[in-house]
Amino acid sequence: MPNSSDAEMISSALLDGGDEAECCILRFPDLDLKDPLPLTAKGNLKAELDTSVRKKYAFAKKKVFALFVKAKEVPAAASCPPSTCRAGLCWECCGQTFQDLTGIHRHVATQHASDIWQQTGLILKQLTAEARMSSNPTSSEEADRLNGPTFNSPELWDRLPDTRYISSNELTSGEGEVLLYYCYCEVKDPESLCSWQKSLCQHLHLTGKVRVASEGINGTVGGSKVATSFYIEAMLSHPLFKNILCTEDFKSSAGGAHCFPDLRVGVFNEIVPMGIHPKKVSYKETGIHLSPEEFHQEVAKYLSQVTTAQNDTILLDCRNFYESKIGQFQGCLAPDIRKFSYFPSYIDENLELFKNKRVLMYCTGGIRCERGSAYLRTKAACREVYQLKGGIHKYLEEFPDGFYRGKLFVFDERYAISSNEDVIAECRYCRTPWDQYKLCSSLHCRQLVLTCPSCRAKGFTACCPVCQKKELKLASSPSGLVVKEECECTDRRQQVPVKHI
């Protein structure tokens, strides 16, 4: 990691360099820098790099550091002394404000070393590949296959939105919202995309969850409307998504950064956990997409024939039982499953239900239907498989008083959002209409419970009487007692219920 004087020199050049700052990482003059290669680099990679490339790599690492620092620039507050704030700028990172270069350099060096090493590691891979190609030229297809950023495209830190013209207060305050989106596409380097997503969300002060995989990306993020607008713009301009994603693919609802406890960005095998590798069941084999209006018409036709012998359609809810419990389409088949990873087994166990049927599938935002419909199609039992494009989110935007009644469950601290006044669920204890979830009060339990204010006031705050007793036992026992998550709720539920025709 560069020392303070070296880093200050680089950052100073970036601040005053104009257009030079935008392409500095694309140029590698043979400077005589004695910067060592990372200890984590593989031996064969280090052996293949000649002296010239080593110098270029050392220079690139310093540039990555400088670009990371540059991405944290914000206009300095009026109260900031000119002697400490360089050119009217300061730096914000991890909720802290730094008024001098030494402070932000020290913070980045100690708190973001792994991010810097990860990016320089990607550059090392690319330099090695280019060294191989120069001695043994390959086809353009082989060059395109290489993972990692190339020097003909913008680097990670250069893809962060320029927020210098707005204050930190504008970026973090005001009306907030939560974005829900997904994009299935081929991702050659999930780690690089994951690193960019983490930096992008931190840069915009967004919280939430983002899953990255070789099959695409799935995210739910919350923040101010200013920040989410920047986020959408950055996503749409990213080379990987700009010809696939569009503004309509982002579903929004009232909320903000407070809806999530933190930011979680990671690389996974699947962008939605169905439990089957994407190579076995691909999103490319999905069902036929129906717009909200087309789906509305199909549901109307289905409901008009639901009790007649002519009905050959199943309206299938792909979500979990606690989601469909508080809101669903009228006349749907809602599997009593706790996780989406149980959905394939549910289909297998109940395949006769779907034989020669037209299936209309739906879920929250459309993502589970992508691979859920693909799995159903692999069984070759259904006549036709359709799915609601954009999920319930998009349907409710056009038909708030349509055939979907009740609340829409969401996977954040709001638990549910509403579009109509219907309450289709009831209190676990007194059976009064109620649909606002709370987490079971027993610390060992992760079940959600519907218990009305009256019952909560009486102490009924657990998911069931068995859990309530365990909670009392834990309260009166010495600390360190471990209790399994087993109660009346988990005991009575089949993992994969079987429907009989």
Q: How many other CB atoms sit within 10 Å of the CB of residue 322?
A: 16
Considering the domain architecture, whether residues 254 and 293 belong to the same structural domain is answered as no
Considering the domain architecture, whether residues 405 and 482 belong to the same structural domain is answered as no
pLDDT, tens digit, 9 for 90 and up, residues 18-54 = 332 222 222 233 222 234 444 344 444 444 445 555 5
Q: What angle do CA 428, 368, 245 make, to 5 degrees?
A: 130
Whether residue 415 is contained in a domain is answered as no
Considering the domain architecture, whether residues 48 and 144 belong to the same structural domain is answered as yes
Q: What is the DSSP letter of 129?
A: H
Q: Are 343 and 320 a contacting pair, CB within 8 Å?
A: no
Distance of CA 337 to CAs 272, 421, 432, Å?
16, 26, 24
Considering the domain architecture, whether residues 1 and 139 belong to the same structural domain is answered as yes
Considering the domain architecture, whether residues 41 and 127 belong to the same structural domain is answered as yes
Considering the domain architecture, whether residues 147 and 2 belong to the same structural domain is answered as yes
pLDDT at position 456: 94
Nearest CA to 155 out of 129, 107, 118, 188 is that of 118
| Domain at 331, CATH number | 3.40.250.10
Question: How many angstroms separate the CA atoms of 175 and 139, rounded?
Answer: 51
Whether residue 180 is contained in a domain is answered as yes
pLDDT at position 24: 29
Q: Are 417 and 253 a contacting pair, CB within 8 Å?
A: yes
Residue spans of the chain under pLDDT 70: 1-60, 77-88, 114, 118, 121-158, 477-484, 492-495, 500-501
pLDDT at position 146: 33
Q: Which residues contact 369 (CB under 8 A, 6 or more apart)?
A: 286, 287, 318, 361, 362, 363, 387, 388, 391
Active site residues: 363
Q: Are 202 and 163 a contacting pair, CB within 8 Å?
A: no
Distance of CA 397 to CAs 346, 365, 393, 402, Å?
30, 12, 7, 10
Residue 355, phi-psi category: left (phi > 0), alpha (psi -120 to 50), beta (remainder): beta
Q: By residue range, what is the domain housing residue 263?
A: 160-271
How many independent structural domains does the chain possess?
4
Pairing of strands 313-317, 358-362: parallel
Buried b (16+ CB within 10 A) or exposed e, 113-128: eebbbbbbbbbbbbbb
Whether residue 54 is contained in a domain is answered as yes
